[in-house]
Amino acid sequence: MNDIAIGIDIGGTTVTIGIVNNEGAILKEVCSATVDFDAPVTLVESVLGFFNSFTTEYGTEDFCLKGIGIGAPNGNSLNGYIENAHNLSWKGRIPLAEMFEKKIGLPVFLTNDANAAALGEMYFGGAKEMKDFILITIGTGLGSGFVSNGNLVVGHDGHAGELGHIKTENNNRVCGCGLTGCLETFISSKGIIETFKKMKPDDNNEPFISAGTPDITPESIYKAAVRGDEAAINTFRVTGEILGAKLADIVAITSPQAIFFFGGVSNAFDLFAGHAKKAMEENLLPVFRNKVALLKSELINRNAAVLGSAAYILKKYS
């Protein structure tokens, strides 16, 4: 009998559902557009249907379902609710864990997507031997999961880990949250594009990218940097420097063994990580110097939130 769990990653664009085993293999997986789930109950039914199709395909004799793990924006592990997620069409507070529990009668674990990815890194990725580390996801925004002595730091209300909203010294950009100078205004897709546009004004177009074109993305800036575009190279340098200075603060507080980078922008890890490491070291207390590794997630091409949320169930209930 092989223990398995269902892992669900609810993103602003896509929902991924996977059947995960104890070795971190995803036995069956399906992706759907998030807008297809007009209400939470639609997702619940879809997941149950997906699991039925799994048992039809694989049989019921060899597998034992232990529960469901969910990574979702504003997912709160203390109460199992998705709370006011602004990038989902489901408004208000959704008791998603309880909705699943009532249907399947098994444990359900729900947390936010960055925390789920951090658990994935701990159980199946580069943090397997670690008890104290941080995972930072850089994509549309900046998310983070903090692990202390092998446990997620979620805080008294379940919302800890909002690293995207600590303040940079370069505090002149307005954030989507309404505050000014949040780290996310620099360390995110949008932030990197804005930095690039400042490096390369419209009236100074260079061969590789015109900043005036509407299709500037972190990926196109990355490609330009690889081809030697100076403004693109400097964009990742500045991004790394701003990030690294704040990582020094985080290390002073939590002293992690490593900081992992996940999410779309982390594909450009090689271009910003060296600068981030240098800036971090320059701002560290002597006791922390040359101790903290900056690492690319080992799950960067996999669904870390599906793996991590399912793994939490498997480790706790297997």
Interface residues with a second copy (CB under 8 A)?
83-84, 130-133, 144, 146, 148-149, 151, 153-163, 165-167, 169, 171, 177-179, 245, 248-250, 252-257, 283, 285-288, 291
Min separation Cβ 96 and a second copy, Å: 18
Q: Nearest-5° angle of CA 297, CA 303, CA 305?
A: 90
Query: What is the distance between the alpha carbons of residues 259 and 292, in angstroms, rounded to a whole number?
Result: 7
Q: Which CB, 183 or 307, lies closer to a second copy?
A: 183
How many Cα atoms occupy the beta-carbon half-sphere of 247 within 13 Å? 34
DSSP per residue, 117-150: HHHHHHHHSTTTT-SSEEEEEESSSEEEEEEETT
Phi first, then psi: give them for residue 31, nearest 5 degrees. Answer: -120, 140
Min separation Cβ 118 and a second copy, Å: 14
Phi-psi region of 158 (alpha: psi -120 to 50; beta: other; left: phi over 0): left
CA dihedral sign, ordered 119, 116, 182, 220: positive
Q: Which CB, 35 or 252, lies closer to a second copy?
A: 252
Min separation Cβ 196 and a second copy, Å: 25
Q: What is the CA radius of gyration of the chain?
A: 20
Q: Which pairing describes strands 26-33 and 108-112: parallel, antiparallel, or unpaired? A: unpaired
Q: Which CB, 104 or 153, lies closer to a second copy?
A: 153
Min separation Cβ 247 and a second copy, Å: 11
Min separation Cβ 223 and a second copy, Å: 33
Q: List, in order, residues 6 or more apart from 121 with CB less than 8 Å away.
A: 127, 133, 135, 260, 262, 297, 298, 299, 304, 308
Q: 3-class SS at 253?
A: helix
Min separation Cβ 51 and a second copy, Å: 31
**Do the Cβ atoms of 69 and 54 come closer than 8 Å?**
no
Q: Which CB, 187 or 306, lies closer to a second copy?
A: 187
DSSP per residue, 198-219: HHS-GGG--SS--TTSTT--HH
Min separation Cβ 131 and a second copy, Å: 7
